[in-house]
Structure 1
Amino acid sequence: MIAKSVAYVWVSLALFILVLYLVLRVCVMQSFVELERQNTTRNIARVLDLISEREATIDSKASDWSAWDDAYQFVQDGNPRFVQSNFALSAFTGMDLNLIAYLNNSEEIVYARWHEPGSDSMTPLPENIRAAIIDAGRLTTHPTTQSSVRGILMVKQGPMLVASRPVVTSNEQGPVRGSLIFGQLLGPREIREISRVTRVPIVVKRLDEGPLPAGFREARREMSESGKTVVQATSRRVVAGYATVDDIYGRPALIVRVNLPRSVYDRGLALTDYALSAVVAVSIVFGVIVSALLARTVRAERECDQKTIDFYRRTVAAATNGRLIITDRAEIEKMCHAPVARWHAHEATDMRSIRETVIAVASSAGIDHDRAVTFATCAGEALTNAIKHAGGGTASLYQRTEGILFMVSDQGPGIATLMLPDVALRRGYSTVGTLGMGYKVMVSLADRVYLATSSQGTTVAVEMRLEPEDLPVPNVGYIGAPCC
């Protein structure tokens, strides 16, 4: 009983811890995963903002050089002194540009030079870049004096941040005479600078060159479905955020990845682990205390029950002049050896043949006929109780040196300890509300009645000696219960 109760306590605690673990890992950690996603999204947004800021800076510089009376005149007459005065190498390095180009309204190049990253010279504009500028169309079309075009132009040399402004007078008056285009490659040096400012590692891949690495391909496929920034945990320690950058035509041109340590996720794991450890520790202490209290309570109840049973055993034995003995099943079985007969009785109709056998065996053992019939009556009462209260039982008949013994065992609910005196001694008492005379009849007519009962069932043994014992017939009545 105590083992089962303790097992229930520990199983309940284990289930509680399991449910808590699932709640922490599924619900609470999901919140940290969402925080991690938001943090990664903010960081990749910072990277995109810096790229946009670089475009804005180039656009601002182009605005200064395009709204200029000297440039306005130069686009019209191609004055070489304007070039000599303004387009030294320092113009490119000072503004951190790779491309400066003036075009007239006929899309003819008035001036264009290219500065290769890391070189100390300027070269004519590469043909592929010239073609990209002309083919783009958007960079040479300015419907108003305030017009502005900026973005990314994809060329062989790399993704280039470009800004185009209309060439107008210093006070921004028209008509527009052409276009000024500034360009800056978004190369490794620029990526490192953005990474330094944002303090996150950055990888940029072109979408128009070859197959992407696996992580980029998966992110690109997911972005094509959701159209949003994608966050993926690439390992237990690293989370990556992906986003695309459009070119001047509004088409995805680049895919940017930022790699971040999973510090938010790790804090969530640490928090849930601490919480779970604390709950486990408290649960263990609680389980130990409850188990000890249960053991103490059950032990006290057993001691009380044992004292009660001992008291009833002595009291019942004294009240019945030793005819009714309350014991346990093992003690009753010690008195029995090989049975003369055995029955499995479940119906009252089974009793006729059993009664006849009991009378026959008792008579053959030397018991006179009247006493044999009396013994059969006691056996019938014992068997009737088993059928009535337990749905039947096993009956056995034993022949002993000093007499015969009839034993009935069932698997019913048993007789509660506090009911034993009433069942055994009180006239007309029954545990099921029926006319209860069975035990009183047995105690009055048999030489000995042995009773063992528990929640696992009841065993009753009725004994008839070969020679009648000179014992007074008990005066059965009522006896109260003791207090523990």
Structure 2
Amino acid sequence: MTLRIKTLGIVTVTLVALILVLIISNRQIVLGSFSDLEDEDIRRNVQRVEEALAAELNEIDISATDYALDDISPVTLVGLLNDQAFAETLDGKNKFADLIAGLNLNTFLVADADGRVLWGRGYDEDTQDLSPVPRGLLPHLTPDNPLLRHPNSETTLTGMVFIPEGPLLVASEHILSTLGEGAILGTVIMGRFLDDAEIQELSELTRLSLVIHRLDGSDIPEDFQDALSTVNDSEPVAVRTLEDDLVAGYTVLPDIQGEPVLMLRVDVPRAIMDKGRLSMLYLLISLVAVGVVMVALIIFLLDKLVLSRLSRLSGEVSGIQSASDLASRVSVTGRDELSNTSGAINFMLDGLEQAH
């Protein structure tokens, strides 16, 4: 094997090993950084959905507050207290059906200061008319329930009530004797189901793919169970990779009493990680290109500065040996180790020539 081939092999192997080390180390650094960015992004997206859900609750609360502060509320409450037939007149008024439909509500209740429900109705979207209050809500309408108890005129209550018909977003607001002040006469409760249509609306609002699953059954999907085991107060969001191109963030949605009843999953395409992989591909191509150029440059310089001169020197020495011409001399160029070697050979030839 010639020195040129050995040199080429050594340089190539060294650079390939160096490139591999750089690729492996940079892969950990680059993809690790993009993975952290992906985690931060999915956590922000989960937070966006939670904020959108909070905005829905706030919207219901504003509607309840507006009704509680309206002049008609005390009048309605007094009418319900003093005349049982007054409830029938409310049922017969289209304005309440229109009010509930216009506010996108599924239930509307009025209670007195002792927590007794005086009038309550649901809304049937199919018939577009009033319907009975959801049966699953009735156990929550006891006088000692926080929904119907307001310690003072400053307290309001919003949150989610979990009933068999589905999770219900509710707002409870007190009704005062006069506009915005005075004694507490009662309570108005408004609710909206967090159903498929509402989830789809949240999905369109946040431009995210959402999945919400109940936590009270035995058919909880495996990925939800895995995420549920890791979600806690210090880590409220669990991030899991579903597929190579899909990542999900999970968080628990509590009810109005703080108990976990639902789990939210936000699915996000892995655009950030795709960019990380693309960056790694560009880095790999760049390193290979630089490596090829470096090998070519090193071989060119070695050949020009060392190997070609060494080959020429070897040829000149072989020529002198073949001709047995001690008067011949090898050429000396430059001022380096090879030129010193050429000078030493000529000095040796001088000695041999004089000896003969």
**CA–CA distance in 2 between the matches of 1:157 and 1:135?**
22
Residues in 2 aligned to 1:291 and 1:309: alpha-carbon distance in whole angstroms: 25
- Paired residue for 2:38? 36
Structure 1 runs (4+) greater than 3 angstroms displaced: 81-88, 116-119, 308-318, 416-426, 474-477
Matches within 5 A, 1:308-327: 308=317, 311=320
1:312–1:421 CA contact under 8 A, matched in 2: no
Structure 2 residue 107 is matched with structure 1 residue 107: no
Report the alpha carbon displacement of residue 219 of structure 1 after superposing the two structures with TM: 1.4
Contact 2:15 2:291 in 1 (8 A): yes
Q: Is the 8 A contact 1:67 1:168 kept in 2?
A: yes
2:223 and 2:79 mapped to 1: Cα distance?
53
Q: Mark the structure with the bigger radius of gyration.
A: 1
Which residue identity does 2:109 align to in structure 1? Answer: A
- Which sections of structure 2, spanning at least 5 residues, go unmatched? 328-340
Structure 2 partner of 1:282: 290
Task: Tell me by how many angstroms 1:166 deviates.
Answer: 0.7
Q: Contact 2:108/2:190 (CA < 8 Å) preserved in 1?
A: yes
| Alignment partner of 1:304 is 2:313 | yes
* 1:234 aligned to which of 235, 239, 242: 242
Q: 1:336 — aligned with what?
A: none
Q: CA offsets, 1:258-314, max 9 Å, x none?
A: 111111111221122122212212321331332244345313212213424654787
| Corresponding position of 1:26 | 28
Alignment length (residue pairs): 334
Aligned in 2, Cα 1:135/1:251: closer, same or farther, shift over 3 Å? farther
Q: How does 1:241-252 map to 2 (within 5 A)?
A: 241-252=249-260
Counterparts in 2 of 1:136 and 1:246: CA distance versus 1, 3 Å = farther
1:121 corresponds to: 129
Cα distance change of structure 1 residues 23 and 119 upon mapping to structure 2, 3 Å threshold? farther
Equivalent in the alignment of 2:163: 155
Which amino acid letter does the alignment assign opposite residue 95 of structure 1? L
- Per-residue CA deviation, residues 1-60 of structure 1 (Å, 9 max, x unaligned), is 322221221112112221221233211122212222222222221111111001000000
Match of 2:18 in 1: 16
The yes-or-no answer on 1:64 pairing with 2:73 is: no
Residues 48 and 225 (structure 1), Cα distance of their counterparts in 2 relative to 1, 3 Å cut: closer
TM-score (norm 1): 0.62
Distance 1:136 1:201, change over 3 A: farther
> Could you say which structure has the greater relative contact order, defined with CA pairs below 8 angstroms and 6 or more residues apart?
2
One-letter code of the match for 1:305? S
Which shifted more, 134-143 or 258-267? 134-143
Q: Per the alignment, do residues 268 and 147 of structure 1 end up closer, same or farther by CA in structure 2, a change over 3 Å counting?
A: same
Q: Does 1:145 align with 2:153?
A: yes
Give structure 1 stretches of 5+ with no counterpart. 319-415, 427-442, 444-473, 478-484
- Distance verdict in 2 for CA 1:137–1:302, change over 3 Å: same
Of the three residues 199, 208, 211, the one matched with 1:200 is 208
Amino acid at match of 1:301: L
Equivalent residue runs for 1:388-407 within 5 Å: none
Q: Identify the residue that residue 52 of structure 1 maps to in structure 2.
A: 54
| Residue in structure 1 matching 2:177, options 169, 178, 198 | 169
- Using structure 2 for the length normalisation, give the TM-score: 0.83
The farther-off stretch of 188-197 and 300-309 is 300-309
C-alpha RMSD of the superposition: 2.9
Task: Pick closer, same or farther for the CA change 1:420–1:313 going to 2, 3 Å.
Answer: farther
Q: CA deviation at 1:231?
A: 1.9
CA distance in 2, matches of 1:133, 1:126: 11
Secondary structure of the structure 2 residue equivalent to 1:115: strand
